[in-house]
Amino acid sequence: MDIIITALELGLISSLTVLALYLSYSMLNVCDLSTDGCFTLGAAVGAVTALAGHPLLAVPAAMGAGLLSGLVTALLQTYLGVPSLLAGIVVNTGLYSINIAIMGNTALLNLNKTTTIFTKAKTLLEGTFLASQYRLVVIAFFVVLVIVFLSFFLKTRLGLAIRATGDNRAMVRSSSINPFMTTIVGLCISNSFTGLSGCLLAMYQRSANVTIGSGMVTIALASLLIGNSFLSKTQNITVKAVGAVLGAFLFRLVYTVALRLNMPASMLRLVSAVIVVIAISAPYLRDRFPEFKRRFENRRA
């Protein structure tokens, strides 16, 4: 039971990054490769703020940092003409130095004795029936908040414009909306979620290191695609967002079980890489299969 709870907690934390990609990858059609660096940025800013004695401020600070990072990525790929994949890579690389600088020129920050949002929640919930699950409560609170925000926001005019940007950019322009603006707003919001995700993980595991976010973009993409494959039929935005969270949990669960079966922890990234490939290639190959089959049969004949 404990390992399921842990998987749920870690799954929900990474689901915030999955929701960030839901916005950037599924809606804006931008594969945001700055995700790893932004995740670490959130962790670093969150950890430093908590260490400075402001555990509650840590969350908005990390989100704000993520937002700024998203702003830079977005400006690069709109007004500065950098191709979107490259913009993400460039920001990711630059963030490595920035993250170390934020952490005070060390690669590791220890939060073992620091008051965090989790320890705050623990004292707050003491004596209530939720006391034992205080970590889950904190994480679930943020996940629900983000889902509620997204399902409201994506139906507003701005949200519609962001969705249309990834769907038909020309149509956005002809609706008298600047697609640069929608890209910028979308990436700012999505990266603030990524920052939040990193901040929560740092506080959850009571440490932040400079590689905390590496591989995150692949893991989150894998989770997103897993969630999508279950709910490919629905068009409902809220259901899809919940599906993304479910995907993150499932991914984490499979990984936890694999660890139990003595899979080395270092295999996580290989597993996530393979899942991304399968999730993207499988539908493609399925569509091509009849063609392959006919070619094969004709060759034998």
Partner 1 sequence: MTTAKSTSNTTAMLELIKVSKTFNAGTPDSKKALDNLDLSVKKGDFITIIGANGAGKSSLFNAICGTFLTDSGSILLDGTDITFMPDHRRAKSIGRLFQDPMMGSAPGMTIEENLALAAGHGGWLSSITKAEREEFRARLAVLDLGLEDKMGSRVGQLSGGQRQALTLLMATINPPKVLLLDEHTAALDPGTSEKVLKLTRDIVEGQNLTCLMITHNMQSAIELGNRILMMDGGKIIMDVEGEEKKNLTVSALLEAFRKKKGVELSNDRMLMI
Rg (CA), the chain: 20
Could you tell me which stretch among 11-19, 53-61, 177-185, 210-218 binds partner 1 (CB under 8 A)? 177-185
Structure token pair of residue 254 = 């499979």
Does 202 bind partner 1 (CB under 8 A)? Our answer is no
Q: How far is the CB of 240 from partner 1 (least distance, A)?
A: 11
Q: How far is the CB of 244 from partner 1 (least distance, A)?
A: 16
Under 8 Å between Cβ of 195 and 65: yes
Closer by beta carbon to partner 1, 132 or else 178:
178
Question: Can you tell me whether residue 177 is helix, strand or coil?
Answer: coil
Closer by beta carbon to partner 1, 185 or else 202:
185
Side chain identity at residue 212, one-letter code: I
Q: Dihedrals φ, ψ of 108, to 5°? A: -145, 130
The C-alpha torsion from 28 through 31 and 34 to 40, rounded to 10°, is 90
Q: How far is the CB of 156 from partner 1 (least distance, A)?
A: 5
Closer by beta carbon to partner 1, 154 or else 208:
154
Does 219 bind partner 1 (CB under 8 A)? Our answer is no
Cα gap 220→226, rounded to integer Å: 10
Does 277 bind partner 1 (CB under 8 A)? Our answer is no
- Region of 134 (left: φ > 0; alpha: ψ -120 to 50; beta: rest) is alpha
Q: How far is the CB of 126 from partner 1 (least distance, A)?
A: 39
Binding mask 131-170 for partner 1 (x = CB under 8 A): ---------------------xx-xxxx-xx-xx-xxx-x
Does 174 bind partner 1 (CB under 8 A)? Our answer is yes
Could you tell me which stretch among 95-103, 110-118, 172-180, 282-290 binds partner 1 (CB under 8 A)? 172-180
Closer by beta carbon to partner 1, 90 or else 172:
172
- Region of 268 (left: φ > 0; alpha: ψ -120 to 50; beta: rest) is alpha
Under 8 Å between Cβ of 245 and 228: no
Does 235 bind partner 1 (CB under 8 A)? Our answer is yes
The C-alpha torsion from 4 through 132 and 12 to 186, rounded to 10°, is 180
Which residues bind to partner 1, rule: CB under 8 A? 152-153, 155-158, 160-161, 163-164, 166-168, 170-179, 235
